[in-house]
Amino acid sequence: VAMSARNKTLVTEFVLTGLTDQPWLQVLFFVVFFMVYLITMVGNLGLMALIWKDPHLQTPMYLFLGGLAFVDVCTSTSVTPRMLVNFLDKTAMISLAECITQFYFFASSATTECFLLVVMAYDRYVAICNPLLYPVMMSSKLCTQLISVSYAIGFLHPLVHVSLLLRLTFCRSNIIHYFYCEIVQLFKISCNDSSINALLIFIFAALIQISTLMTIIISYMRVLFDILKKKSEKGRSKAFSTCSAHLLSVSLYYGTLIFMYVRPASGLAEDQDKMYSLFYTIIIPLLNPFIYSLRNKEVMAALRRVTKK
């Protein structure tokens, strides 16, 4: 019994198998993902700086966009740097404390992003359906409160899972077949019964993802009905262009979640999970600043003004 108890406390470090075990691919992946991370940081931090610097962008829509850019920075930073280190480190070891910390910051960023996307959808609903009341309804005080609540929920939600994770011990294996500390992978190597942990992950994920997605869908259904009522073609075109970037971002974000959790079981399930997680954690934070900027005339005009100065 003493030997068994001692063995359960032995595993405090884990091996992340990453994306591949081929040395030449690891070097290639390091170069590719290092460039992706660099572009992600420049894009999101640059967008935040532009919104802060240019007074023309000091509006609710761009304040929310700045909050989203910061979340994307946090999401990418919670996963990518450690993955880059593991590409060059043959042992690819990570301690339990580092593992839990990585999960916490990733889950916090992901939760915050869900609620920020809802806030941005509500902002577009008010701007298009109630344009005359928009300055009153979307006051700077309300914007600050909405952003603060989104971040507060994001910071608090993972604490539930972290507190339950701390009760688990790990003795079956120290190998995590993933490129970051994905919590479900930790359940697989736990000595204890982790069914309660898995159930709570499912319940919270379902509540957050379904409630936020349904709110976004309802908001945009109202927006669509209002757009179709507009008589002028110019008004319709402007309204559609205003919403298109956000709709694309929402589609990519929630579309990935659907592919991760709603699919038939197969022998390639683990590899599919890795690919979907890769898109969710690294590619979307890379794409978001370009989705919101390249076709946005106000952002491009602000960039030209700041560049001239």
Query: What whole-number distance in Å separates Cα of residue 233 and Cα of residue 227?
Result: 10
Is the pLDDT score of 183 beyond 50? yes
Is the pLDDT score of 154 beyond 90? yes
- Is the CB of residue 8 less than 8 Å from the CB of residue 171? yes
The reported pLDDT for the residue numbered 252 is 87
Query: What whole-number distance in Å separates Cα of residue 121 and Cα of residue 265?
Result: 33
Give the residue carrying structure tokens 């043959």: 90
The reported pLDDT for the residue numbered 267 is 45
Q: Where are the domains of the chain?
A: 2-308
Mean per-residue pLDDT of the chain: 85
The reported pLDDT for the residue numbered 43 is 94
The reported pLDDT for the residue numbered 39 is 97
Which segment of 55-69, 86-100, 169-183, 233-247 scores lowest on mean pLDDT? 233-247
Most confident of 23-37, 165-179, 288-302: 23-37
The reported pLDDT for the residue numbered 80 is 94
pTM: 0.89
- Is the CB of residue 33 less than 8 Å from the CB of residue 83? yes
Is the pLDDT score of 239 beyond 60? yes
What percentage of the chain reaches a pLDDT higher than 90? 41
The reported pLDDT for the residue numbered 265 is 47
Is the pLDDT score of 10 beyond 70? no
The reported pLDDT for the residue numbered 37 is 97
Most confident of 54-63, 142-151, 186-195, 289-298: 142-151
Most confident of 68-77, 131-140, 230-239: 68-77
Q: What is the average pLDDT across 228-239?
A: 68
In degrees rounded to 5, what are phi and psi of residue 130? Answer: -135, 60
Is the Cα dihedral 284, 255, 114, 67 positive or negative?
positive
In degrees rounded to 5, what are phi and psi of residue 178? Answer: -160, 170
The reported pLDDT for the residue numbered 177 is 86
Q: How confident is the model at residue 5 (pLDDT cuts 50, 70, 90)?
A: very low
Which segment of 167-181, 183-197, 267-281, 289-303 scores lowest on mean pLDDT? 267-281
Q: What is the average pLDDT across 197-223?
A: 90
Classify residue 307 by burial, with Cβ atoms within 10 Å: 0-12, 13-18, 19+. Answer: exposed
CATH top class, domain 2-308 = mainly alpha
The reported pLDDT for the residue numbered 88 is 86
Amino acid residing at 90: K
The reported pLDDT for the residue numbered 309 is 74
The reported pLDDT for the residue numbered 234 is 66
